[in-house]
Structure 1
Amino acid sequence: MPDVDAALARVVPLGGEATSGANDMPWGQRVAHVRDPDGNAVNLTQQL
């Protein structure tokens, strides 16, 4: 995904839930955890 922060901003307006903010991981990825409208857990991941 090219921009985790932009995708994260769209989660709630589209009926999902942001369960964490975006964080930079030491292995070179930016990651956010969300739930889709059906309650499925989804990780948004971007290479840094």
Structure 2
Amino acid sequence: MAWKVAVIVVATAVLATVNRYLIDAYWAELVFTALVTGAMAFCLSRMNRRL
């Protein structure tokens, strides 16, 4: 359970940091948000299979 929370916290921190400081266009924020969300969901589903 702690690993899943850690994955969510790391993904949220990366998303917030990149969207706040590195990306200017709103469409790029949406694309990056979709990619991070997809990667987080993939990691969580892989962790669910192993645990």
TM-score normalized by the length of structure 2: 0.34
Which structure shows the higher strand fraction? 1
TM-score under structure 1 length normalisation? 0.36
Q: Which has the higher contact order (CA 8 A, sep 6+)?
A: 2
